[in-house]
Amino acid sequence: MEPEATRNVFDGTLLHVAVESWPSGDREVVHHPGACAVVPLTASGDVVLVRQLREAVRRPLLEIPAGIFDVEGEDGTGCAARELLEETGYRASDLRPLGSIFTSPGFTDERIELFAASAEPMEGGMTEDGIDVVLMPLEEAMRAIRDGRIIDAKSVCGLLLVGLERSL
C-alpha cells in the first residue's frame, strides 16, 4: 500500500521524516535505513551485552550489540559481526539469523535484523568510547528482562528468541 501523497519535512544525516496522506488521515513517518543486532554467547554461556547512554531516553541502557546499516553493500551478517567487534572487542562466529522486527511501526519503518552468534574475545580488542561491556549468564539476562533491567526492545526480542530456542 502507498500513501495518496507524501511531503518531505526533514532530511537528516540518518533519519528522514515525511508527512503522508492516507485515507484515514495524515501520518508523520520517520524513514530509517535499518539496523542489525546480535545476541553473542561466549563458550561459558554468558551473553555479551553493552551498557551505553541513550540520550533520547536520558539514561544508560543494557542492550545487545547493534548498529545501523551504514557500510555500502554490507548485509546483516556482516553488519552484526562488525558491530559486535567494534562495540565489545569480541569476534563473532557461527552467525545465524533469528528473524527481524519493526521497532515501532506506528511512526517509523525502522527494521532490525536479529542474529545469534558465538563470541570470542579478541586479544587487544578495543571497544567504542562510552560503551561498557557486561557479561551476563543467559538465565540472568532472562531475569533482567522480567525485572526491568533490560527494557530495550531489540534486546528483549533477541534474548527471548535465543532463550526460547534453548528451552525447546
Q: Where in the sequence numbering do the catalytic residues fall?
A: 128
| Cα–Cα distance for residue pair 64/43, rounded to 1 Å | 17
Q: Write the DSSP symbol of residue 71.
A: S
Give the chain's count of helices (H) and strands (E).
Answer: 3, 10
Q: Would you state the cell numbers that stand for residue 66, as one nine-digit string?
A: 547493534
